[in-house]
A = this chain, B = another copy of it.
């Protein structure tokens, strides 16, 4: 299809498509004459992925470039490729990880992940993120127990394993797997957050009415 059709089918305006082509986010079409190029399903899939990364993941263009480089590098294993997108969704670290309180919290996180038997990269930024939340809870007088944290984590794994991972098409196009991972991570995260607040209201009503 021509660029005008690609725009019509994808809903992405032509100037935006041209911008993605210039930035290398979208591969060039097949040149059929000096002024014409043909686009196909591959371009449509890529546009869907870019939209998910931009609008749902709210990632900056530089980060999107890195993820797309990983998608295009067919030698990169799927798990590593998904990791680049996954880690990009982590919040940047807030504190210097040097202070003793943080170091202790980080050790707790590492022990927790070991105790759960989860397979998580030793340098995954999510480990730091969790350590920071534990430090804040301590500082604000709502410390967590190791046992409580482990039970909370185990229930979390049930949600993920039983309700989320099944929706990711690991065996289709690399683009589609990343897109599902990003959309699922962000939107299921949002859904859970809202359900949790609904549950809070309901439990608060129950406790305070007795």
- A binding-site residues for B, Cβ under 8 Å: 52, 56, 77-79, 82-83, 86, 89-90, 113, 118-121, 124, 126-127, 129-130, 133-134, 136-137, 140, 142, 144, 148, 151-153, 155-165, 167-168, 170, 180-181, 183-185, 187, 189-209
Contacts and interface: CB of A to CB of B under 8 A. Distances in A.
Nearest to A159: B155
B208 A170 contact: yes
B192 A142 contact: no
Contacts of A83: 201
B152 A203 contact: no
Main secondary structure of the interface of A (DSSP, over half): helix
Contacts of A127: 198
B86 A197 contact: yes
A137 to B, nearest CB: 5
A156 B159 CA distance: 8
A108 to B, nearest CB: 12
Contacts of A77: 208
Contact of A165 (B79, B137, B183, B203): B203
A160 B194 contact: no
A207 to B, nearest CB: 6
Nearest to A90: B197
25 contacts: A77-B208, A79-B204, A79-B205, A79-B209, A86-B201, A90-B197, A118-B201, A119-B201, A124-B198, A126-B198, A129-B194, A130-B195, A130-B198, A133-B187, A133-B191, A134-B191, A142-B180, A152-B163, A155-B158, A155-B159, A156-B159, A157-B202, A160-B196, A164-B200, A185-B197
